[in-house]
Structure 1
Amino acid sequence: MKKQSLIIALLAAAGFMGTSAFAADGTVNITGELTAVTCSVHGGTPGATTGDVDVTLPPIPAAKLDVAGKTAGSTGYKIYVGATGETGCADGTHASVHYEASSPAIDSVTGNLKNNTPVATGGADLVQVQISDASATPTAPINLFTNTNSTPVVVSGNTAELPFTAQYISTGAAKVGTVDTAVQYSVVLN
């Protein structure tokens, strides 16, 4: 009996000590909402069959991106929400875009997109791609790592257009090569 009591006492003490090793330093409070609004998402052109958007930046001489922070090659694109007669995409709904911070190409320091083409296989060096919210006044770069949502646009006629730009941004004296990157997004409706 003494042996059993000793084992129980040791297990209880170990359990108590184990919980102190996991003491919390804070709390992350998470809220959300699921809505009944359903709008289709069309990438690049109204009525496109997917939400994917292809953006081709123009060829730019590397010399134009000779110091960190210089930008060039700004190219616009749009994400379309809803369609004429799509009654589930109700007029008056606010639509915005949330770029997913978990996208692998996002640089958590700059908030821009890293080049996915390695320098060893012909990728440009010391250059990233910056996304800007063209609905904002003035057009504002989006930190893709810490962003909230783009400027909301109101659905009218069961449709909405969300405009953005993509451009090169140097992280130093850019080196010649190709640029290829991508980011995932979700459309937020409320």
Structure 2
Amino acid sequence: MQKTVFVKLATLAVAGMLSQGAFAADGTVNFTGEIVDAPCSISPNSQNLTVPLGKVSRTVFGTVTGTPPVSTATIGKKSTPANFTIDLLGCGATAKGATVTFSGTADLDDPSYLRLANAGQVGVGAASGVAIELGDSAGTKIALGSPSGEYVLGLGDNSLKFQAAYVATKTAVTVGPANSVAQFTVAYK
């Protein structure tokens, strides 16, 4: 009788150890977030956006002549804007309006624009002579570090629409990667 109990316990122990392989960890999932005192939540899809501005010919900003090519850009001339949205979720009755402020590295020629990463650095190969202009859905410029116009919010979900475009800041535009990063802050009214 004791031998039978011992065999059953040994069998269970072996089966338990063998089943542990089915529960082995193959990776890690990190969850991040924050609980905030705000009338709306920012959609997870809007928290880390990528806005493709496209492959824009430098001729968009002016003429290119000669060998090697030399551009003569018109300062302030913009590329076709790319649209993007920041979605607010579950806005309550206290959420009447909101403004959005974009921050980042300011352009050296016009601090109201977002500077390109590595712009003008020798040997880096990044584009120069352009920056990124941010605007609301109507194309009204939002200066870097300044709040947008007020967006009226309703109960529930709200989409705040924006656009971004390259803008010439010098008469000479060089080619290369034209990337940048901005952060945004939503202020509720």
TM over 0.5: yes
Q: Alignment partner of 1:53: what SS? A: coil
Q: Decide which structure has the larger Cα Rg and report it.
A: 2
**How many Å separate the matches in 2 of 1:181 and 1:37?**
28
**How many Å separate the matches in 1 of 2:56 and 2:178?**
11
1:36 Cα shift? Answer: 5.2
Task: Note if contact 1:153-1:160 (Cα within 8 Å) is conserved in structure 2.
Answer: no
- The total of aligned residue pairs comes to 138
Runs of 4+ in 1 over 4 A off after TM superposition: none
- After superposition, residues 87-166 of structure 1 pair within 5 angstroms as 89-91=91-93, 93-100=96-103, 103=104, 105-107=105-107, 109-118=110-119, 119=121, 120-134=123-137, 138-145=138-145, 147=146, 149-166=147-164
Q: Alignment partner of 1:78: what SS? A: strand
1:174 matched residue in structure 2:
173
- Which runs of no fewer than 5 residues in structure 2 stay unpaired? 1-35, 62-72
Task: Note if contact 2:130-2:167 (Cα within 8 Å) is conserved in structure 1.
Answer: yes
Task: Note if contact 1:132-1:139 (Cα within 8 Å) is conserved in structure 2.
Answer: yes
Backbone CA RMSD of aligned residues? 2.2
Percent sequence identity is 22
2:78 matched residue in structure 1:
71
The amino acid across from 1:60 in the alignment is V
- Which runs of no fewer than 5 residues in structure 1 stay unpaired? 1-34
**How many Å separate the matches in 2 of 1:69 and 1:63?**
14
Task: Note if contact 2:107-2:116 (Cα within 8 Å) is conserved in structure 1.
Answer: no
Task: Note if contact 1:98-1:187 (Cα within 8 Å) is conserved in structure 2.
Answer: yes
What is the TM-score when the length of structure 1 is the normalising length? 0.65
Q: Alignment partner of 1:156: what SS? A: coil
